[in-house]
Amino acid sequence: MKKITLSILLAAASTFVAACGGPAANTGANNTNTNANTNTSKPVAATPTTDALMALDKQANEAYVKGDSKFFEGMLSDKFVILAGGQRMDKAATVKMIAGVKCDIKSMNLTEPALSMIDADTYALSYKVTWDGTCNGPDGKPMKVPSPIRSASIWVRSADKWQAVFHGENLIVDPKNPPKAAPTAPPKKPAAPAKKEEPKKNDKTAANSNTAANTAAPAAVQSKATPDANTDALVKVELALWEAWKAHDAKKLDDLMAKDVSFVNIFGTYLATRADAMKDWTGAGCNIKSVSVTDGFASALSPTVEMLTRKGTAEGTCGGQKVGGTVIWGVSIYVKDGDAWKFAFGMNSPAM
């Protein structure tokens, strides 16, 4: 099942506005002449509560299953991304994909909300969703929506409203008893290689494009956005984090982590605190031999907050299950601490 078609709950933000202050007149030093020009405070979105952001996520969920793409056009940040089907999808691709959604949902239940502050203008919201219903799969036929899942959204303050800049979700599974993969048919005799055709001079399709992948994801996935200047530096920090996890190196992890940390792992487990993450990452649950981090793409959410999407691989075992060569897509939020970037939030998802 491709995650791109069943990535239910693409988060979006609804308007969450609160006026802050009012017009203040400028007066002369002698208080006798009033300046005709006045300064007005621009409205600023109020500090969010867990309930407020959960209400917005619920609205987005309801709009998604209706295929209401217009709801999301003004509600997603221009820097919004999701990671689906091994693709990094931007806002335009996400809105386009939602327009084709067809679901028959009997019930939707959002529970276990948890909110963590990354900084005053950036928050991470996680919650559990239990679904009963179907959505169309890659072949257009109804498929049962995976359930229960763990969702996570990153919200940023944008003047007078809160907008979603990232959304992800993982099926909640027992690491020691993961769902069994569907049986596959015996391999067929390989067909004769097709004749290679050279691309035409005016052909806008890249010569090395993957037809299946491009068909699975909207064309808008290939956005014109470029990673910012901190990308290489953040990939190095991310790799150091993975290597410290591999080595169960508590001291190194401590150096790389921000004061407040939360994380969603590939099994849909939510680690709510820095202590939870440290305990999990230094425990005996995983025995990893090697790791890698590639395909980094950083976006600045503010001068002191960066969002890094990346691909990682790990060779070894976790929860008694082999993870050799497993491709893991994910997002990491980093905050600036002096001259160093520190890990504050992350979500890893197995590529599907």
Verify that 160 and 46 share a domain, yes or no.
yes
* pLDDT score, position 179: 63
Judge if 148 and 75 occupy the same domain: yes
**Per-residue pLDDT tens digits for 71-100:** 999 889 999 999 877 788 999 999 999 999
Confidence of residue 225 (pLDDT cuts 50, 70, 90): confident
Token match 């909207």: residue? 218
More confident residue, 22 or 336: 336
CATH number of the domain residue 264 falls in: 3.10.450.50
pLDDT in tens, 159-172: 889 999 999 999 99
244 domain-assigned: yes
- How far is the C-alpha of 80 from the C-alpha of 92, rounded, in Å? 9
Pseudo-torsion of CA 56, 60, 62, 63, nearest 10°? 130
In a domain, 261, yes or no: yes
Question: What would the pLDDT profile of 320-331 be if each residue is shown by its tens digit?
Answer: 778 777 789 999
| Any domain includes 202 | no
pLDDT the model gives residue 178: 64
Task: Determine if the pTM surpasses 0.85.
Answer: no
- pLDDT for position 84: 78
Query: Has residue 219 been placed in a domain?
Result: no
Domain tally for the chain?
Answer: 2
Mean pLDDT over residues 34-39, rounded? 44
pLDDT at 287 over 80: yes
As a whole number of angstroms, the distance between CA 345 and CA 328 comes to 16
Q: Which of 171, 198, 216 is the last residue of a domain?
A: 171
Structure letter (DSSP) for residue 189:
P
Rg, Å, the chain Cα set: 23
For 285, the domain range is 231-350
Contact between 270 and 116 (Cβ < 8 Å) = no
Q: Mark which of 171, 188, 219 sits at the end of a domain.
A: 171
